[in-house]
A = this chain, B = another copy of it.
Amino acid sequence: MTEKFQQFRKLVGEIFDLDAVVSVLEWDQQTYMPSGGAQVRAMQIATVYRLWHENLTGDEFSATLEAAKEETANLDPDSDEVRIIRHMKREVDQWRKVPSEWVGEFKRTTTLAHQAWEEARANDDFAHFQTHLEEIVKLRQQYSEFFAPFDHPYDPLLDYFEPGMKTSDVKAVFNELRPRQVELVREIAERGSPVDDSVLRQDYDVSKQWDFGVEVIKALGYDFNRGRQDRAAHPFTTSFGIGDVRITTRFDPKYLGTALFGTIHEAGHAMYDQGVSPSLDRTDLITGASYGVHESQSRMMENLVGRSRPFWVAFFPRLQKYFPSQLGEVDMESFYRAINKVEPSLIRVEADEATYNLHIMLRFEIEIALAENKLSVADLPEVWNSKMEEYLDLTPPNDAKGVLQDVHWSSGYIGYFATYSLGNLMASQFWAKMEEDIPDLTNQIERAQFTEMLNWLRENIHQHGAKFEPLELLQRVTGNTLSVEPYLHYLSGKYEDIYKLS
């Protein structure tokens, strides 16, 4: 390491520390904080976040960055040094456009909004959350304005989560996906051999659910020496450093799917964060290339692994031992079909793969309308319900199972949802390449052997952290740009088999 880069690296570490500290405060808020702590916690988070912003956008850091850049001009453009500088430069350019006051206000608002959302959802009381969400939408609209001019006011929000992606790109993807996903769902409904998932809807002891979930994610490769699992109202993954990547989960004592697939999903995120190269620790690059790439890892674990037949060849006998009275008489094939039942449903995180993206499109359209200031928050429940009707032919019985179901907006995450769908696409693209490289993959999964799979993911994706932008990473790994075909190919293949369509 060279002298100027070293000085820069020190400041990068301190900026990272502040960001990580906010994550610790938020993790605590969502897991263990007593209700009395909410007000002061909001101030604490706002104060640290503001300092993070001041340090990141201050003249000292920019000068140090420029000096380091000059000093490392002749290094390999793929070296850690060059990539750390490039990444931080992008962050500085982005955040210099945003005033510190906005940053503190945003964190204070979202921290309190999160608390209000939890209460609103628990009591099915949208009004309790409405003013909080109005503030958040206003703040996000302001955020957008900091980046004017833009093609679309939603672009800066999307770019926040998926660097380089435009509203028009996502619209194009969804326009390709929509008719073919709708057609698939229609075909399944009309011609599919019926699937019964009642085996999943029995009494399942929560502590046994916990234990089985832990057994699964340990087998997949989640490292409990560098992480832990706790309960929270909404499952999430958070990284405070490569050595401390935590996940949360939640349970439904009458439905096996909630915790099981939630846990595997979060473990997918967490293994990404645990797999980043130690040379990037204490930099902002340790949390992955983008939210979309992150979702590719979580949705891959949840669906391509966790909802696959080979996986249950290995794990169904184990699951039966946890729940002999519920599953002892069930055959693996019925269970496999049950966890893949396609049925329009109210809750996104429990949606099957065929309808999942429709949940996303609905949210995407609503967010665009909010960004364009064409939709008032007060009208959200009604608009939500009418779009549910349109996309999934369902009417939510209440707002708790409708517009209040997701945590994202309470955290200010307007612009996030599309990354789930992008993640679905990338997951299939990565998977196709991995199958080429590991011809024996299916057999390995059937034997619960995940080492080679995890090594492939580490080698090709995880270790790089945010060194490469999403599409650059995709190109390096698969040789292709973003495409819907591998995903649709996977989906139709899977459901033709399960629903005996062909």
Structural contact, B47 and A14, CB atoms closer than 8 A: yes
Least CB separation from A47: chain B residue:
B17
State the oligomeric state as a number of copies. 2
Q: Report the minimal beta-carbon distance from A200 to chain B, rounded to whole angstroms.
A: 31
B-contacting 9-mer, from A224-232, A317-325, A454-462: A224-232
Structural contact, A35 and B240, CB atoms closer than 8 A: no
Q: Report the minimal beta-carbon distance from A114 to chain B, rounded to whole angstroms.
A: 16
In the complex, A39→B241 CA distance in Å?
A: 9
In the complex, A246→B41 CA distance in Å?
A: 14
Structural contact, A34 and B241, CB atoms closer than 8 A: no
Structural contact, A35 and B228, CB atoms closer than 8 A: no
Structural contact, B37 and A244, CB atoms closer than 8 A: yes
Structural contact, B282 and A37, CB atoms closer than 8 A: no
Interface digits, A253-288 against B, CB 8 Å rule (1 contact, 0 not)? 000000000000000000000000000011000000
In the complex with contacts A28-B24, A43-B282, A244-B36 CB distance below 8 A: yes
In the complex with contacts A25-B24, A37-B226, A48-B48, A43-B13 CB distance below 8 A: yes
Which residues of the other chain, B, contact A24 by a CB distance below 8 angstroms?
A: 24-25, 28, 44
In the complex, A146→B498 CA distance in Å?
A: 75
Interface membership of A392, Cβ < 8 A: no
The one of B17, B36, B243 in contact with A34, judged by C-beta atoms closer than 8 angstroms, is: B243
CB contacts under 8 Å to B, within A3-36, are: 13-14, 17-18, 20-21, 24-25, 28, 32-36
Which residues of the other chain, B, contact A224 by a CB distance below 8 angstroms?
A: 34
Residues of A within 8 A of B (CB): 13-14, 17-18, 20-21, 24-25, 28, 32-41, 43-44, 47-48, 51, 223-228, 230, 240-244, 246, 281-282
Structural contact, B17 and A240, CB atoms closer than 8 A: no
Q: Report the minimal beta-carbon distance from A469 to chain B, rounded to whole angstroms.
A: 25
Which residues of the other chain, B, contact A25 by a CB distance below 8 angstroms?
A: 21, 24
7 interchain pairs (CB within 8 A)? A13-B43, A18-B48, A20-B40, A21-B47, A36-B244, A48-B48, A51-B51
Which residues of the other chain, B, contact A223 by a CB distance below 8 angstroms?
A: 36
